[in-house]
Amino acid sequence: MPFGQFIIGPPGSGKTTYANGMSQYLACIGRKVAIINLDPANDLLPYKPDVDISDLVDLQTVMQEMNLGPNGGLVYCMDYLEQNMDWLQAALEPLEKGGAYCLFDLPGQAELFMMHDNLKHIIDTITQKWHYRLTAVHLVDAHLCTDASKFISCLMMSLSTMLHLELPHINVLSKIDLVRQYGKLDFNLDFYLEVQNLKYLVRTMGESPFNKRYRKLSQALCELVEDMGLLSFVPLAIQDKQAVQHVLGLADKANGAVYASLAGHSPYPPELIYGASFQGSETDMWSDFQEKYIDRPGNIVERQVEQGQPPE
């Protein structure tokens, strides 16, 4: 029974970097890991994929021969993969036999999730027909927290992806370490992670004619998200070991790897699965992140300016 993660999220949200970082962490703690690149637009990979969709279909060739743009080409490649799932099954077989934890790096274009069924069919085949136990790890760039309207869009996108995929799901605010660059947040980090009391978010939206006109709509969307009670985020900065550990621990619980290990149905003893996951309290971790990445000035010059001293 193979375990692993589907890594999803909009373009640029950090999926490939996460696949690379997570695989390094897994290898470090002694778990076998494989990366399956299913994004044909991924040309400069920081990792060496164990399976690469480019070996099946090449996006550039598709664009040239079919006279398609990048998005049309991507949809074509996904259709092609859907029709050639036996290729993927054969490529996965040795990894499965070797007991590898599978990280699937997926394309980020939202239309693949929202408007076409090909990726959903691919995911369904892997999880339902081939019985892979996979958690969807959905990354969104944390800079969306710096603007209430953008954060509401991010909530809608995360929620609809969750409902569309019907998989165990973790929502991640990625690149937390870069948030400071985009200015001060209106609220502490836990506000964005817990996704509660969103009425306060709507209040920060300003008084432009556009905002005034659509305030009720924003309010209704926020109420919908809160009423469903399905959405929350965990923070990630890929170089932060604690954060990577935390996401892995949640993914292992969501896909059942922890319970399989406890029941003796895993090549890894529970100590390795539990022992490698984050053991502390989430609230302490949030405060630590708040202090480390959001409150604390990033460098000595910023610190001096914040303390009212002229930079040296």
Ligand X SMILES: Nc1nc2c(ncn2[C@@H]2O[C@H](COP(=O)(O)OP(=O)(O)OP(=O)(O)O)[C@@H](O)[C@H]2O)c(=O)[nH]1
Distance CA 292, CA 274 (A): 26
Query: What is the closest distance, in whole angstroms, from the C-beta atom of residue 56 to ligand X in the complex?
Result: 18
What DSSP designation does 267 have?
S
Neighbouring C-beta atoms of residue 129, cutoff 10 Å:
10
**Which residue, 59 or 260, has its beta carbon nearer to ligand X?**
59
Write down the least CB distance from residue 186 to ligand X, Å: 22
- The sign of the CA dihedral 138, 140, 142, 147 is negative
Cα–Cα separations (whole angstroms), residue 48 to 19, 44, 262, 284:
11, 10, 31, 35
Do residues 101 and 3 lie in contact, with contact meaning Cβ atoms separated by under 8 Å?
Answer: yes
Q: Which of 42, 8, 7, 289 is nearest to 145 (CA)?
A: 289
Q: Which is nearer to ligand X, 17 or 255 (CB)?
A: 17
Q: How far is the CB of 170 from ligand X (least distance, A)?
A: 15
Of residues 112 and 237, the one with the C-beta less far from ligand X: 237
Can you give the binding site for ligand X, defined by CB under 6 A? 9, 11-17, 39, 42, 108, 174-175, 177-178, 237-238
Single-letter amino acid, residue 249: G
Work out how close the CB of 223 gets to ligand X at its nearest, in angstroms, rounded to a whole number. 30
Q: Rounded to 5 degrees, what angle do the CA atoms 37, 265, 130 make?
A: 40
62/205 with CB nearer ligand X? 62
Give the nearer residue to ligand X in terms of CB position, either 13 or 277. Answer: 13
Q: For ligand X, which is the closer residue by CB, 215 or 292?
A: 292
DSSP letter (8 states) at residue 29: T
CB of 151 to ligand X, least distance (A): 18
Query: Minimum CB separation from ligand X for residue 237, in Å?
Result: 5
Measured from the Cβ of residue 173, the count of other Cβ atoms closer than 10 Å reads: 26
